[in-house]
Amino acid sequence: DIQMTQSPSSVSASVGDRVTITCRASQDISSWLAWYQQKPGKAPKLLIYAASTLQSGVPSRFSGSGSGTDFTLTISSLQPEDFATYYCQQANSFPLITFGQGTRLEIK
Amino acid sequence: EVQLVQSGAEVKKSGESLKISCRGFGYRFTNYWIHWVRQTPGKGLEWMGIIYPGDSDTKYNPSFQGQVSISVDRSTDSAYLQLNSLKASDTAIYYCARFYNNGPARKLDYWGQGTRVTVSS
C-alpha cells in the first residue's frame, strides 16, 4: 500500500503569512495527488488535483506543486477562513486511495 | 447543482448492523464512481471502498473486506454502505464522495455531509 506522510502535523500562523505544507508518498505516484481542506463539522473540500490544478472556485492564493513522491501545498497569504485541517490524497493506485494524516493550521 | 445527501446520524449497540445511504442529485448518477470514506480522530480519513453505479462494480479496501458491504439502487440514484457486527471502534463519521476520473483528473469533487455513527456497548 502507498503511505502518505504529511508535515508538519500542525502549524501556527498569522493572517497574511505564507504557509507551506508537505506531503510525501512512499512510492512514485506521478502527479496523482489531491489536496483537501476540512473545517470542523464539515466534509472535506477539494482544493487541488493532479498535484497543481486548482479546483474551480478555489481562491488563487492556494497552489500545489510536486511530482513523484514529494508534493507541497502553499497558501500565499493566509485569510481568516483558511484556518482548517488540510489533507493530501493519492489516486495512483486506483481504486484504492489513501490520505495523509492531516495538517492542522491554527491561528497564532 | 451537484449534491450528495446522506442519511442521518445513528446510535447503535455492539453487534447490530447499519445501512447508510447516499443519494446523488444534479448529475447522471450512473456515470461516476462513489467512494466511501471513514473518519475517526485516531486514524483520520480511511478509504473503505468504491462502487460504480452504472454496473455495480465494487471494490473494497482489504482492511474492511468482510465487515462492510457497498451497494447501489439505480432507481433512486442512491448508494449504500452496510456495516455489520458493529463494534465500538466503528464509531466514526462516514462520508460518500463522487469520484471524477477523466484524463489527468482523479479527484473526489463532491462529498456528502457525513453520517455520524455512534456504537455503544
- What pLDDT score does B106 carry? 92
Q: Which residues of B touch A91 (CB under 8 A)?
A: 106-107
pLDDT band of residue A4 (cuts 50, 70, 90) is very high
Tell me if B107 and A87 make a contact (CB, 8 A cut-off). Answer: no
CA neighbor of A89 nearest in space, from A6, A28, A18, A21: A6
Total CB pairs under 8 A between chain A and B: 60
Tell me if A49 and B95 make a contact (CB, 8 A cut-off). Answer: no
SS3 A108: coil
Are residues A15 and A106 in contact, defined by beta-carbon separation less than 8 angstroms? Answer: no
Nearest Cα residue in chain B from A48 = B107
For the cut 90, the answer to whether the pLDDT of residue B42 exceeds it is: no
The b/e string for B59-91 (b: 16+ C-beta within 10 A; e otherwise) is ebbeebeeebbbebeeeebbbbbebeebeeebb
Q: Which residues of B touch A99 (CB under 8 A)?
A: 37, 44-47
Q: Is A53 on the interface with B (CB under 8 A)?
A: yes
- What pLDDT score does B32 carry? 97
Average pLDDT over residues A71-87: 96
pLDDT per residue over B60-117, tens digit each? Answer: 999 998 899 999 999 999 999 999 999 999 999 999 999 999 888 899 999 999 999 9
Tell me if B46 and A95 make a contact (CB, 8 A cut-off). Answer: no
Q: Which of B33, B107, B114 sits opposite A34 (nearest CB)?
A: B107
**Grid coordinates belonging to A1:** 500500500
pLDDT per residue over A14-56, tens digit each? Answer: 999 999 999 999 999 999 999 999 999 999 999 999 999 999 9
